[in-house]
Amino acid sequence: MPNLTKHAKTRCQQRGIDPTVIDILMLFGIEINEDNEAEKLMISKRDKKQLLNKLNKAKQAVEKNIYTVISHTGEVITAAHKYH
């Protein structure tokens, strides 16, 4: 979770924007330069469908208790369902 300014916290609360959405924008958003000190992150119309598909797959992975084992070098060794 990024650090939110007091202004950002207030605006998110006023506009009903969950801070998790900020995380999603930081992961998947495209950068639009506003000026030399800031940039805007947003999801383009073109990428919206693809992102919704990825988020749906992530939701299914959580619901199905899917996990993965990753080596110290970052390679995925295996993936499975947790049945306990």
What pLDDT is stored for residue 28 in this prediction? 87
Q: Is the dihedral of CA 68, 71, 73, 76 positive or negative?
A: negative
pLDDT at 32 over 80: yes
What pLDDT is stored for residue 1 in this prediction? 65
Over residues 2-25, the mean pLDDT reads 92
Amino acid occupying residue 69: V
Q: Which residues pair with 39 in a beta bridge?
A: 33
pTM over 0.95: no
Q: What is the pLDDT of residues 58-74, one digit of tens each?
A: 999 899 999 999 999 99
Among the listed residues 22, 26, 1, 24, the one whose alpha carbon sits nearest the alpha carbon of residue 11: 22
